[in-house]
Structure 1
């Protein structure tokens, strides 16, 4: 191993892949659904943007729909672990961890 320190992103357990595709989600046990855009994806979770404020700890059924027909959609149950307001009350960045593939 070289003596050079790794960048923060390289210290993650899973490599993050930049994506730009549609997502849809439904809150488990609540009558609420929404849509957004996936921004990055890893083996552990997903980062997406939506106009709905979601609370950390919320469990969602999430569907990621790649634009290429050669890539299969991903359907999973996720837990919201991080929420950041991007545009005052209009856009939120949601970090979610995968629980199980559906």
Structure 2
């Protein structure tokens, strides 16, 4: 499940609110063991996602790097090349 959490720092353009929320949701899912919480745990689960998203956004805004910002398209191409090497496919569906 945590493999779905993508690196969000040092990209141009910066990470969006949706990307930060998605990573926060995956993190809370991993910690809690719930993909979808029960009604009894829903409020605590959603609160945790919101709090993690705030902390993640603060972290991303606080970090500095001397490296050039990464390009999303280039990173996607690299990931597809790694997948092709690992799984013997180009990652595209026909």
TM-score by length of structure 2 reads 0.18
In terms of fraction of residues, the more strand-rich structure is 1
Task: Give TM-score scaled by structure 1 length.
Answer: 0.17
Greater relative contact order (CA < 8 Å, ≥ 6 in sequence)? 2
Look at both structures and tell me which one has the larger radius of gyration over its CA atoms: 2
